[in-house]
């Protein structure tokens, strides 16, 4: 599930107002782990990890198959 910036803002505002992580997660329909992650402030929904996939190694045996 991709969290939009408006939900992120709601999570941060509710948490700073003293609402519990469990209550925020239940009201917004987001997992508690996600709410906790955004409450800690270490990540932002617009910042994504770069997807780096290692190239597959195709041997001659596989090519002839």
* Class of the domain covering 1-47: mainly alpha
| pLDDT(55) > 90 | no
Map out the domains of the chain as residue ranges: 1-47
Quote the CA–CA distance of 31 and 3 in Å, as a whole number: 11
Task: Kindly report the backbone phi and psi dihedral angles of residue 55, in degrees, each rounded to the nearest multiple of 5, phi listed first.
Answer: -65, 145
Render pLDDT for 12-52 as a digit per residue (tens, 0 to 9): 999 999 999 999 999 999 999 999 988 887 777 766 667 67
Looking at per-residue pLDDT, the higher value among 46 and 60 belongs to 60
- What is residue 60's three-state secondary structure? helix
Over residues 49-62, the mean pLDDT reads: 74
Residue 30 · residue 7 · CB < 8 Å: yes
């Amino acid at each position: 599930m991709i969290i939009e910036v408006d939900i992120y803002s709601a999570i941060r505002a509710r948490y700073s107002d003293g609402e519990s992580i469990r209550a925020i997660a239940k009201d917004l329909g987001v997992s508690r782990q996600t709410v906790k992650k955004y409450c800690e402030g270490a990540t932002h929904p617009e910042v994504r990890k770069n997807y780096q996939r290692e190239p597959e190694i195709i041997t001659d045996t596989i090519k002839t198959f």
